[in-house]
Chains A and B, each alone.
Chain A
Amino acid sequence: MPPFSRLVAEGKRAIPGTLVFDGNAAQSGYAINAMCYSFNDEANRKAFAADEEAYMERFGLSEDQRQAVRDRDVLGMLAAGGNVYYLAKLAGILGLNVQDLGALQTGMSLEDFKANLMSHSVTETHVADDPRRAA
């Protein structure tokens, strides 16, 4: 993720802890995102699992991107231009759901990450007073 100070220096709005996936990220992340996009196809997922290095080579990932994939370093993948919508397809191969990803990125345990989500827990339901509409 670009340092806060660089975003400020570039005159871009910086939102703490948040990557704004813009043209710079879309360019630098093209290869890793293209690889992840290919994982919509099960045969490609199997090919990646069979030989990760060869598969990354085929898509021309940068060394930063390859190392982040080797290390299962989600923040590193994002810093190298990965977009979470595409990375989610890689996460699926690795057996990680979005809560696992959240824990990895925030440095929390999975239990703490889930507890943090549950700390917002609320259910509010309104149904208009109209007998025709009532379920």
Chain B
Amino acid sequence: MSEICGGIFTSHVPGIGNAIAKGLQQDPYWKPFFDGFNPVHAWLAEEKPDVAVVFYNDHGLNFFLDKMPTFAIGAAPEYRHEDEGWGIAFKRPFPGDPDLSWHIIEQVVESEFDPVTCQSMLVDHAVAVPFELCWPGENAFPVKLVPIAINTVQHPLPSPKRCHDLGKAVGRAIESWGGSEKVVIFGTGGLSHQLEGERAGHINVDYDKFCLRNLAPDPEALLQHDTLDIVELAGSQGVEILNWIAARGALRGSVHELASNYHVPISNTAAATVLLENSARVHA
């Protein structure tokens, strides 16, 4: 039976990837953000998860407006990052776990979700940056990837409750998997930021702190706002918190926070990193 050992929640700003490519981790502008990963590195070194199930949003690398899935689950043997238009392509491939992907697909469809399934897909900075942050360097990634993309680009977006329920269904699916893998859940993106319009540069520290305060003990508090409420509160890209809400739903045991780091600003974004431990469920 698979075990979900915890969750890693982090911003995925492309500029972080640029800073990694340029080796700016100790630069005074970047250091307070990168330092937030020290506890994550220590935890990963101890837990050694086998699989990462990543809730994220694609920004126009794999999906375009011609076909825009609300939910898409990867089932590829391998994933790659590619140039997204600004010349950075992280080289390390992401090994897939097709058997677990298909198990999750089967189980969430059984739970009345209807995801698009992808046997070939590129993953963008929303997966690549968190992986580079968690496992820096050149060595092959020590985890297999199951990517789950949520549409946060083209409205209507799925509701926060729907995302949370998807996360719960994915959590149940992983718990019912017959393998012995240890799984870490990722939710990437956020926190408050807005790139476009006259309100570009919008940041809402109060809303971000509300999310950070409630993520571990009371994630359903985040469901009181609908997607347009969140756009208004957190900005049109701050709605990426949907990925966090889904990921939190997959943690169904005793959850408590091991570390969090909130740092404003990184680029145009209120950046955050949170590490949650998910203690084993007691099975009937």
Contacts and interface: CB of A to CB of B under 8 A. Distances in A.
Interface of A: 1, 13, 15-23, 26, 30, 33-34, 36-37, 39-42, 45, 74-75, 78, 83-90, 92-93, 97-99, 101-102, 105-106, 113, 116-118, 120-128, 130, 132-135
Chain B, interface SS category: loop
Interface string B256-280: 1111111111011010000000000
A16 to B, nearest CB: 7
Contacts of B260: 124-126
Contacts of B228: 13, 15, 20
A105 B41 contact: no
A121 B42 CA distance: 27
Interface stretch (B80-88, B141-149, B180-188): B80-88
A23 B203 CA distance: 26
Given A22-B155, A126-B259, A127-B259, A101 B39 contact: no
B32 A102 contact: no
Nearest to B236: A18
B20 interface: no
Contacts of A99: 267-268
Contacts, number: 177
Interface of B: 14-15, 32, 35-36, 38-39, 41-43, 46, 59-61, 64-66, 82-87, 153-156, 194-203, 205, 228, 231-232, 235-237, 256-265, 267-268, 270
Which 3 residue pairs across A and B have the least CB separation, nearest first? Answer: A17-B199, A89-B85, A135-B38
A120 B270 contact: yes
A109 to B, nearest CB: 13
Nearest to A132: B46
Nearest to A84: B196
B65 A20 contact: no
A125 B257 CA distance: 12
Contacts of B86: 88-89, 92
A132 to B, nearest CB: 7
A87 B257 CA distance: 37
21 contacts: A16-B198, A17-B198, A18-B194, A18-B236, A19-B236, A33-B64, A34-B66, A42-B83, A42-B87, A78-B197, A87-B196, A89-B85, A98-B15, A101-B200, A106-B199, A121-B265, A123-B264, A125-B260, A128-B257, A132-B46, A134-B39
